[in-house]
Amino acid sequence: MFCRCLLPVLCLVVAPVLMAGEFTVEKQADGLTVKQDGKLVTRYLTKSGAKPILWPVIGPDGKEVTRGWPLREKLDFEKNDHIHQRSLWFTHGNVNGIDFWSESGKNGTIEQTKLVKAEGGDVATIVTQNDWVAPDGKKVCEDERTIRIGGTEDRRWIDFDVVVKATEGPVTFGETKEGAFGVRVYGTMKVDAKQGGQIVNDRGQTDAAAWGKPAAWVDYHGPIDGETIGIAILNHPSSFRFPTTWHVRTYGLFAANPFGGKDFGKDQAEKYGEFTLAKGETMQLRYRLILHRGDAEQAKIAEAFAEYAK
């Protein structure tokens, strides 16, 4: 007897995998340009107004996710308020009594003194040293900021770590809502545009109710060209005064500020008020931005924070 065994043919269907492309960091006279596979990701401007910033910040599908004004002409749906809220930045409104937040003409400035590192690869890395300078020209303190950028065009992340150093003497970060690590979201994303924008934090507080509250992360999402796009800011557990309080507004300001104190309400006055570094001491603040599609739940921001916290 002849017996034939018919072996089944297995057809493997492999889903496409989104691979992170190569990052490059190019030097220009006014700063650095970061690209991924030749496409613009962001520019690090050494000085815009009174400080270094990132602009533009490109999210999913090549969309800008931060306000462009005053870096370019105002778009019809943008507001030309708060000129100091320039895309993405780090500063504070009361440092030894000096306002580094606004552009009032009497404000302090943050001046880059050294470009420590600017390199590409699987992740783009930028490290700079900066002096905080009073209006009279005297140095107040300095910082070293490390920016790492990774991911894909579909979902990108930006780590922003800053170490403030009291190099000249005691440095007091004073109690004020005007601080500190900030983003001004794209005009159509903001809640006040009434196009579906929403603020939500890890405690389930939304929109105006999230203002001044401590949270491990906050997500700000809304429509850009008909698609829901979000920016999540995650505060690392090792960051100073984790979980930070948030100066996040329905008009589009989105800032982590652990020095708001009583400006954020009596519940925050004791833990989140002013803080003084003695000469030689340092303070580290650590944040991760995630640029994503959909809302916070669809983008799995809670899971992303758990991974970041490790």
In the prediction, which pLDDT does 12 show? 34
Measured in whole angstroms, the distance separating CA 297 from the mean position of its chain's CA atoms is 20
What is the 3-state secondary structure of 274-301?
A: CEEECCCCEEEEEEEEEEEECCCCCCCH
| Cβ atoms within 10 Å of 150's Cβ, excluding its own | 17
Output the pTM of the full model. Answer: 0.92
Domain that holds residue 104: 23-309
Q: Which two tokens stand for residue 2?
A: 């002849």
Residue 217 counted as domain residue = yes
- What digits encode the pLDDT tens for the residues 93-134? 999 999 999 999 999 999 999 999 999 999 999 999 999 999
Q: What is the pLDDT, as a whole number, of residue 21?
A: 82
Does 155 reside within a domain?
Answer: yes
- For residue 172, the cross-strand partners are 276
What's the confidence (pLDDT) of residue 67? Answer: 98
Report if residue 224 sits inside a domain. Answer: yes
Asked whether residue 10 is assigned to any structural domain, the reply reads: no
Q: Is residue 13 part of a domain?
A: no
Look at residue 8 and tell me if it is in a domain: no
172, 196, 181: which is closest to 145 by C-alpha? 181
For 178, other C-beta atoms within 10 Å of its C-beta total 21
Rounded CA-CA distance 272/261 in Å is 4
Flag residues of the chain having pLDDT under 50.
1-18
Phi and psi of 147, rounded to 5°?
-115, 125
Asked if residue 112 belongs to a domain, the reply is yes
* Domains contained in the chain, number: 1
CATH number of the domain that residue 272 is part of: 2.70.98
Residue 127 lies in a domain: yes
47: tokens are: 């000085």
